[in-house]
Amino acid sequence: MFENNLRSLLDVLALGDDAERIDLDFQSVRYYVPGGIVAVVAKIKRWQRSGKEWQFTNYEENENFGYFQRMDVCNILGLDLPENFSRHSGSEDFVPVVRVPRSDQDVGPIASKLSACVDPNRGETFRLLQFVTSEAMPNARQHSGGEGFVSAQYAKSKETARIGVADCGIGILESFRSNASPFYKQGMTEEQALLLALKPEVSSTMHLKTAYGHSPNRGVGLSMMRELMALSLGAMTLVSGNSWWFQYGQRAPMFGTFKHGRRFDGTVLAAAFLRSQIDDYFEMLKRARMKLGLQPPDDVGKIFL
Amino acid sequence: MTEIVMREHFGSFLADGDLGNRFRFCEIDPLFGRAAMLVFDFDGIANMSDSFANACFGSLAEDHPEDILEKVRFRNCSDMIRQSLSAAISSGRLRGSQLVHSDGF
């Protein structure tokens, strides 16, 4: 399961929403990207909250199931299954699933940890991923009202970096509606809300006053991620409610809705790119801001010593 | 002059918009009224998210679109940090100026 077919996984998982008891069959599971893994975790957390019974089946014979365990899927779901591997293997090319920090906790240390698994030398790719993950995690906070999960992985053989963030919260449309966002319009669809959230300077909470005066959100995170992933010729997918969006490189994005009323209650964001495509993080930031109109004329030069 | 060493508060990565927002409100705003000059030292800061830059310094510029140019200085900024700050502060000043005009002042 990769970024481009993540929505197929979510489509299948949605079958569980109408069931009282769910068996997740691992017999033919080979590989999931971090976006798929955190989506499964968020989905099961949602089922747990609504009192559904669920279980993993046919995992004992599947040699790939150890990877799910090593990614701490079972631990974070409270599932105590025997492990047939050493947890001190020395491998540092992935970061197991962790919870997105609460709003009073700094996302910086987790962003750095996720980034270091891809670029342990802390070069351009490290800083790009720091930026991307630190922008992605607060989105999960903002739309979740529930729990958010994040993970990252680096495939050395193909030099591919992957991250995934998912939550089991209210989703993007409901975030616009429940926060009485000026961007919300009566009758707005989830697809319209998802496409709106990807635009620069759009956020469901940027109009709100907080205990600290201004809202911390200016609505730049998702749009910057989108541009940075396009510049890296990578893939990015965003799913919320009944709608999905997928971008590959600089091709025109695709988007649509799940069929048969299926949905993902919450939001999933997954991204992947080749490390070899990242050679100048600063230049990428500049180009992304220019493209999005987020770089107004510099009229503040005198404030820099 | 009052100096704020950013690394002492956040380490080398200014990441979190929520914390940037809180830092502005709790630490910077009270000093802004009192200090003749506020200097932010970015020595050792290797990276900064746009969320942090906007929540901390963009909002400060929105509240003080003119005063910020007279009362705030940044030192030891890399080109990348300087560009992020510049974008956040220019945008914040623009929002602040528009608010002032829309209020009829």
Q: What is the mean pLDDT of residues A1-23?
A: 90
pLDDT for A232:
96
Give the confidence band of A5 by pLDDT, cuts at 50, 70, 90.
Answer: confident
pLDDT at A100: 93
Beta carbons of A108 and B16 less than 8 Å apart: yes
Q: Which of A112, A296, A305 sits opposite B91 (nearest CB)?
A: A296
Q: How many residues does chain A have?
A: 305
CATH number of A92-294: 3.30.565.10
Instruction: Provide the edge-to-edge strand list for the sheet that holds B72-75.
Output: B2-5, B38-41, B72-75
Out of A108, A214, A303, closest to residue B72 by CB: A303
Q: Which of A122, A144, A214, A294 to mutate to test the interface with B (most CBs of B within 10 A)?
A: A214
The chain B residue lying nearest A122, using CA atoms, is: B46
Looking at the partner chain, which of B49, B52, B75 has a beta carbon nearest the beta carbon of A305?
A: B75
Q: Which residues contact A150 (CB under 8 A, 6 or more apart)?
A: A34, A38, A97, A98, A99, A100, A110, A114, A133, A136, A137, A140, A163, A164, A165
pTM over 0.90, yes/no = yes
Closest approach of A133 to chain B, Cα-based (Å): 9
Q: Look up the ipTM and state it.
A: 0.92
| pLDDT value of residue A210 | 82
Q: Is A296 in the B-facing interface, judged by CB distances under 8 Å? A: yes
- Phi then psi for residue B3, to 5 deg, are -110, 135
Residues of chain A above pLDDT 90, percent? 72
- CB-nearest to B49 from A109, A135, A213 is A135
- pLDDT confidence of residue B105: 44
pLDDT at A296: 78
- At B104 the pLDDT is 47
- Tens of pLDDT, residue by residue over A233-253, are 999 999 999 999 999 999 999
Instruction: Write out chain A in H/E/C secondary structure.
Output: CCHHHHHHHHHHHHHHHHCCEEEEECCCCCCCCHHHHHHHHHHHHHHHHCCCEEEEECCCCCCCHHHHHHCCHHHHHCCCCCCCCCCCCCCCCEEEEEECCCCCCCCHHHHHHHHHHHCCCCCHHHHHHHHHHHHHHHHHHHHHCCCEEEEEEEEHHHCEEEEEEEECCCHHHHHHHHCCCCCCCCCCCHHHHHHHHCCCCCCCCCCCCECCECCCCCCCHHHHHHHHHHHCCCEEEEEEECEEEEEECCCCCEEEECCCCCCEEEEEEEEEEEHHHCCCHHHHHHHHHHHHCCCCCCCCHHHEC
- Whether chain A has a CB inside 8 Å of the CB on B44: the answer is no
Q: How large is the average pLDDT for residues B6-15?
A: 97
Determine the distance in angstroms separating the CA of A17 from the nearest CA of chain B, rounded to an integer.
Answer: 33
Over the stretch B46-63, which tens digit does the pLDDT of each residue have?
A: 999 999 999 999 999 999
Mean pLDDT confidence for B83-97: 93
Is A210 in contact with B90 (Cβ distance < 8 A)? no
Q: Which of B40, B49, B79 would best serve as a mutation to test chain A binding (most A beta carbons within 10 A)?
A: B49
Structure confidence by residue, pLDDT tens digits, A209-230: 888 888 888 888 999 999 999 9
pLDDT in tens, A156-184: 988 999 999 999 999 999 999 998 999 99
Percent of chain B whose pLDDT exceeds 70: 94
A22 touches chain B (CB under 8 A): no
Q: Where are the domains of chain A?
A: 92-294
What percentage of residues in chain A have a pLDDT greater than 70? 97
pLDDT tens string A70-113 = 999 999 999 988 887 777 655 578 999 999 998 888 999 999 99
pLDDT band at B65 (very low <50, low <70, confident <90, very high): very high
**With an 8 Å Cβ cutoff, are B13 and A108 in contact?**
yes
CB of A14 within 8 A of CB of A42?
Answer: no
Check CB contact of B97 with chain A, cutoff 8 Å: no
B68–A303 C-beta distance less than 8 A: yes
For A282, the closest of B15, B79, B85 (CB atoms) is: B79
The answer to whether B13 contacts A111, with C-beta atoms less than 8 Å apart, is yes
- Looking at chain A from residue 145 to 204, which residues have their Cβ under 8 Å from any Cβ of chain B? none
Amino acid A146: pLDDT: 62
pLDDT computed for residue B18 by the predictor: 92
